[in-house]
Amino acid sequence: MSSEDSSYAPSPDSPAGRARLAPDAGRKPPWLRIRLRTGPTYNRVRHIVASHRLHTVCEEARCPNVHECWSEGTATFMILGDVCTRRCGFCAVRTGLPPAPPDPREPESLAEAVSSLGLDHVVITSVDRDDLPDGGARHFRRVVEAIHSRVPGCAVEVLTPDFKQAPDRALDDVLAARPEVFSHNIETVPELYRVARPGSRFEHSLALLEQASRRKAEFGGTTKTALMLGLGETDEQVLRTFERIAAAGVDVLAFGQYLQPTPQHLPVRRFVAPDQFARLAERARAMGFRHVEAGPLVRSSYHAKDHRPAREP
């Protein structure tokens, strides 16, 4: 994070300032009740993840869908450790410096876990690694290649950081592994980046998605992004953001309700009702997205394998 970011204090009259100063939304509404399901499949996934000493964003980011997804035999793996070099206001992943060096055994270990789970679609994400010259892109490539080699029938979705150190070179590395889905999360509207994502820039993230979208024919996959609602944005800001993402050529859009992971994180400014999610999704589909996944508990990897078309042989 730059000194500019760490010292930034938004004006009370700015959108970011109003988001910070607005009253908390209060108690969770009834539509946000989460069903805690466990059983043999959930326990099996948990055992395999633990035995291979792997990290999952399901656990580290306190995803509300962990019980549902693990009970269905799916998980989103987090590579490059569990310590992030940035400090986003919404994220529960640990932050700090210096993170441990990348584990050279991780690609094969993760591929073995994917094989043991019998997955046909796996999502691979990571913490931000601004300490690495390529942001961890080469490690992403090795992980994708290991999974494709070990489990040829498994589609790999990468959910990458913005690689702000060397985005062009990093994107070359990741796409060279031909992931079935390239995903990078916009997370929120540009007006709230200074509050929610002080180490990132909306224009940079959008440019990364646009570059990947231009290269879809090259790597043979699709592109995807996701946002959270409830940080203080307006519906008008959300729709303008959707329009910019659609213009960048992104295929798949997912958006859900932000939930405060701890009292130290940004508060929830509003709870968006399911019918409003449906209306926003309808507007998004009219903008040309091939697939839109929307709802209070939707996260980027929720129902991920339903978001991709079959790849041509």
Q: Report if residue 94 sits inside a domain.
A: yes
pLDDT at 35: 61
Q: Is 233 buried (19+), middle (13-18) or exposed (0-12) by CB count in 10 A?
A: buried
d(CA 216, CA 222): 6
Q: Is the dihedral of CA 86, 87, 93, 96 positive or negative?
A: positive
Question: Amino acid identity, residue 288?
Answer: G
pLDDT beyond 70 at 188: yes
Question: Amino acid identity, residue 38?
Answer: T
- For the stretch 203-242, pLDDT in tens is 999 999 999 999 999 999 999 999 999 999 999 999 999 9
- Return the minimum-mean-pLDDT range out of 39-53, 141-155, 255-269: 39-53
Q: Where residue 164 sits, what CATH number does that domain have? A: 3.20.20.70
pLDDT at 49: 62
Q: Report if residue 167 sits inside a domain.
A: yes
Q: How confident is the model at residue 189 (pLDDT cuts 50, 70, 90)?
A: very high
d(CA 150, CA 173): 20
Q: Report if residue 228 sits inside a domain.
A: yes
How many CA atoms lie within 13 Å of 44's alpha carbon, on the beta-carbon side? 14
Mean pLDDT of the region 33-55:
60
Q: Which residues on adjacent β-strands are paired with residue 238?
A: none
pLDDT beyond 70 at 293: yes
The average confidence (pLDDT) of the chain is: 83
Q: Report if residue 256 sits inside a domain.
A: yes
* Cα radius of gyration (the chain): 19
pLDDT beyond 50 at 70: no
Q: Report if residue 108 sits inside a domain.
A: yes
- pTM for this model (two decimals): 0.82
Q: Report if residue 77 sits inside a domain.
A: yes
> What percentage of the chain exceeds 90 in pLDDT?
56
CA distances from 237 to 74, 260, 263, 269, 278 (A): 33, 21, 26, 15, 17
Q: Total domain count for the chain?
A: 1
Among 69, 78, 64, smallest CA distance to 39 is for 69
- For residue 137, what is the enclosing H or E element? helix 137-150
Q: Report if residue 29 sits inside a domain.
A: no
Domain carrying residue 114? 34-302
Check if the beta carbon of residue 31 is closer than 8 Å to that of residue 296.
Answer: yes
CA angle 45, 49, 53 (to 5 degrees): 170
pLDDT at 186: 97
pLDDT beyond 50 at 311: yes
Give the contacts of 263 (CB within 8 A, at least 6 positions apart): none
Among 190, 122, 201, smallest CA distance to 157 is for 122
- For the stretch 203-214, pLDDT in tens is 999 999 999 999
Q: Report if residue 310 sits inside a domain.
A: no
Mean pLDDT of the region 249-259:
95
Q: Identify the residue with better confidence: 311 or 143.
A: 143
pLDDT at 69: 54
Q: Is 124 buried (19+), middle (13-18) or exposed (0-12) by CB count in 10 A?
A: buried
